[in-house]
Structure 1
Amino acid sequence: MNVGAKVALAVAAAALTVSATIGGLVHRITAADQLATARTELDQQLMNAAYDYAAARKSQARLNPPDLPRPVARAVRGGIRVTYLRHGTHPLLWAAAPVAPGEVLALSRSYAPEARSLARLDRTLGAVGGAATVLVSLAGLFLGVRMGRRATAVARTAESIANGDLDARVRPDGRDEIARLAASMNTMADALGARLEAERRVTADIAHELRTPVAGMTTAVGLLAPGEATDLVRGSVRKLRVLVEDVLEVARMDAGVATPATEEQWVGAMARRAGAGLEGVTVRVRDDATVTTDPRRVERILTNLAANALQHGAPPVEVEVDGPVVRVRDHGPGFPADLLAVLHTSGPQRFRTTTPGTGTGLGLTIATGQARLLHARLTLRNHPDGGAEAVLTLPTAT
């Protein structure tokens, strides 16, 4: 249940409670006032009848009536003048007093007019209370829906920012806590965007500046005499060159300057080219399909996934093509539970690997960024039969 519904229900419950309480109080006060007035009037009539009885004049009072209620009879025998209301289908109000030893003078009248008046009052209070409850509930519903929409707008903006849309903002409306929350979120987004932009520029500048010395190192390694030391240096330079290119690729995707060059390609052909230079990777095409995409980026995704599986999993690494869906699976221990939780919430974290010291941690980051650029869906999970599995679903024309 959202905030708007909760506010509307709370206002409706409060309005109903207030209406019922006020209605009950008015009913009780009116009923008590009516009864007190009727008792006073009938008691006064009884006193007048007692004077008439003493003067041997006729009156409406009856002497020792046979239908006198027992509670009245018991009270009068004790020498008390009483009034008594007998409830029922036909309510009667009695007034009685002793006039001689063993003699009781009593008056009675119908209490139905007061009962009907009280019933009309109850109906009026019910109608007014119901109408007031409905009106207040509608006002509460309007207020709750408005608050719910504003809170939902703030939540959606937060989700957009979390998904990478740092330009998403929410327009503060009003001066309450929700407006303050919206303004604070906009401030946070501005600060986060500025910080990330600074980091992107630093990363891109460092990687760009490193390209020249790395290129020089690559040329210099080619001039070294063959040997074990030369092979070690050549391998390190190759890794450094790949790292620099990966960092530049991430910087281009972060800056939004990467543009895919699409063309129609067979998915099976792209998968075979991606796994061609990787030992321990087998490619199987169950059902081939053509898609319109950027083949270089798709192959880069599949190469990174397969290399990541070889490095952090265990062979054999299987690449299976099933139409526009490509599955890359290894036979290792699979993704750790904590890493899967991070992958499903915020995506791959840069420079974080499943096994520290075994890589730069940019493979999954680049694969995820390239998939997002191609409007493809990349799902990372553990296979039911063991091992880690990455599923790339390429978009198809509809």
Structure 2
Amino acid sequence: MRPPALNVGTKVALAVAVAAVCVAGAIGVLVHRITAADQLAAARAGLDLELVSAAQDHAAGRESPARIDPPDLPGPVTRAVHTGVRVTYLQDTGQRRVLWAVTPVSGRKMLALSRSYAPEERSLASLDRALLATGATAGVLVSLVGLVLGVRIGRRATAAARTAERIADGDLDARVRPHGHDEIARLAASVNAMADALGARLEAERRVTADIAHELRTPVAGLSTAVSVLPPGRASELVAGGVQKLRGLVEDVLEVARLDSEATAEDIERREVSAMARRAVAGLDGVDIRVTADAVVDTDPRRVERILANLAANALRHGAPPVVMEVDGPVVRVCDHGPGFPPDLLAVLHTSGPQRFRTGSRTGGTGLGLTIATGQARLLGARLTFRNRPGGGAETELRLPTG
């Protein structure tokens, strides 16, 4: 299972926290090494001065804390002093550390001073604790600042993404409030500009569609009148059928235009779902009504019947019999036994909804039936779901609101 992706805010906060820890660690290591070197140099210089004073006391016959040829003198120091130089040496015995200062004296003897290096080690350990506490505090503070900055950036980016998703879902009035002059503000301005351009283009398309449909109503009505006076025959039947289809297409286009502009009103009545289903398929042959459970809902019966009629007609046109309309309370399912929805069309139905003038079927058609059904369902507050049944065939489910 793939782990969830980190958002921008979390990534920024983590990056700032990691950078703060790395910088604090590097500074701590550098200060530790410089301080340790300075401490060792100062300790060697101090013990060397004490050795010089002890050598003077030894030459004058006075007592001093220095020792002559101590048995625990480290080997490297003995070899170096035999060359005639004064030596300071830090010995690590594994349990403790000892600082030596040794100088040659008369008779190939060696005068040595030694002391524990524990005070410097304690001082360095205290410095390390202070550096660790300071680094941790600074790291936490910088991480909090990074977290606040990351959360702010993440919220702005998330707001822009959600607004873009709302625009993609059809809410062309959604806008992002840009803040500042950074890249996210530019992204917000670009999303708003995209929404404005998309809204203007869709409005122009809707206007053109509605104008064309209105202009076609008059000549189509004239054609219908002219067909009615033609002499009976095969030719007149073909012309009448074509005119009837053209008239239905014009009415569908006008209905889509009204749904796009939402210039329609609802006429709410209390009706049984089964009764609306029967009225919807009254003029369609080959649709079987099955009532599993009935329900009474407050809705616009004309719109519900239009939805169910379009779904049933779509199943008859693009599916295969038998076509069954099942009423299960406020849910109505329309099933057929055809090849089902094509995969590419089903993907579009699940994301952006039906696209006008696209059916996904080789039999042709205008593709406005599902568009009108979806628009009517949206106005009613109903939910329309499209799927393919495991046993074969397409299934469309209309779930009416019961509140």
TM-score (norm 2): 0.94
User: What is the SS of the residue equivalent to 1:94?
Assistant: strand
- Listed one character per residue, the Cα deviations across residues 141-181 of structure 1 (whole Å, up to 9, x for unaligned) are 11111111111111111111111111111111000000001
Matches within 5 A, 1:369-388: 369-388=375-394
The letter of the residue matching 1:42 is L
- The structure-2 alpha-carbon separation of the partners of 1:100 and 1:320, relative to structure 1 and needing over 3 Å to count, comes to farther
The 2-side partners of 1:376 and 1:355 are apart by 26
- Residues of 1 paired with 2:39 and 2:113: CA distance? 18
In the TM superposition, structure 1's runs of 4+ consecutive aligned residues that sit over 4 Å from their partners are 77-80, 87-90
2:308 equivalent among 280, 295, 302: 302
**1:85 to 2:90 alignment:** yes
Give 1:148's aligned residue. Answer: 154
- Please say if 1:31 is aligned against 2:36: yes
Question: Given residue 105 of structure 1, which amino acid in structure 2 is its aligned partner?
Answer: L
CA displacement at 1:130 relative to structure 2: 1.4
**Secondary structure at 1:396's aligned position in 2?**
coil
The farther-off stretch of 239-248 and 36-45 is 36-45
Residue 256 in structure 1 maps to residue 254 in structure 2: no
1:308-337 deviation line (CA, Å, top 9, x unaligned): 111111111111111111111111111111
How far did residue 352 of structure 1 move?
A: 1.0
Q: Which amino acid aligns with 2:55?
A: A
- Note closer, same or farther for the CA distance 1:286–1:80 as it changes in structure 2 (3 Å cut): farther
Secondary structure at 1:333 match in 2 = coil
Q: Does residue 204 in structure 1 map to residue 210 in structure 2?
A: yes
After TM superposition, the structure 1 stretch with the greater mean CA deviation from structure 2, 111-120 or 362-371, is 111-120
**Alignment partners' CA distance in 2, 1:232 and 1:159:** 47
Matches within 5 A, 1:66-215: 66-77=71-82, 79-87=84-92, 90-99=96-105, 103-215=109-221
1:334 aligns to what? 340
Q: Which of 30, 40, 46 is residue 41 of structure 1 equivalent to?
A: 46
**Residue aligned with 2:291, SS:** strand
User: What SS does the corresponding residue of 1:104 show, helix, strand or coil?
Assistant: strand
Task: Kindly provide the amino acid, as one letter, of the partner of residue 351 in structure 1.
Answer: F
For residues 252 and 97 of structure 1, the distance between their equivalents in structure 2, rounded to whole angstroms, comes to: 108
Return the letter of the residue paired with 2:33: R
Q: Deviations over 1:282-318 (max 9, x none)?
A: 1101011111111111111111111111111111111
Q: In the alignment, residue 149 of structure 1 is paired with which amino acid? A: R
CA pair 86-268 structure 1, distance change in 2 beyond 3 A: farther
What TM-score do you get using the length of structure 1 for normalisation? 0.95
Cα RMSD after superposing both structures: 1.7
Secondary structure of residue in 1 paired with 2:297: strand
Amino acid at match of 2:68: L
Cα deviation for residue 102 of structure 1 reads 5.7
Q: Select the residue among 219, 224, 230 that pairs with 1:218.
A: 224
| TM-aligned CA deviation for residue 356 of structure 1 | 4.5
* Counterpart position of 1:392: 398
Deviation at 1:101, TM superposition (A): 6.1
In the TM superposition, residue 342 of structure 1 has moved relative to its aligned partner by: 1.5
> Does the aligned pair in 1 maintain the 2:318–2:363 contact within 8 Å?
no
Matched-pair contact (CA < 8 Å) for 1:311–1:358: no
| Distance in 1 of aligned mates of 2:100 and 2:249 | 105
**Code of the aligned partner of 1:378:** L
Q: 1:8·1:137 contact (CA, 8 Å) conserved in 2?
A: yes
Q: 1:335 and 1:54, CA in 2 relative to 1: closer, same or farther beyond 3 A?
A: same
Q: Distance in 2 between matches of 1:351 and 1:6?
A: 44
Aligned in 2, Cα 1:43/1:266: closer, same or farther, shift over 3 Å? same
Report if aligned partners of 2:28, 2:131 keep a CA contact under 8 Å in 1.
yes
> Mind listing any 5+ residue stretches in structure 1 that lack a counterpart?
none
SS at match of 2:111: strand
**Partners of 1:78 and 1:385 in 2: how far apart?**
100
Unaligned runs of 5+ residues in structure 2 are 1-5
2:233 alignment partner, one of 213, 227, 233 = 227
Aligned to 2:64: 59
Contact 2:319 2:339 in 1 (8 A): yes
Q: Decide which moves more: 121-130 or 95-104.
A: 95-104
Q: CA deviation at 1:89?
A: 5.3
Check whether the contact 1:52–1:58 (CA below 8 A) recurs between aligned residues. yes
CA deviation string 1:170-201 (max 9, x = no partner): 11100000000111111111111111111111
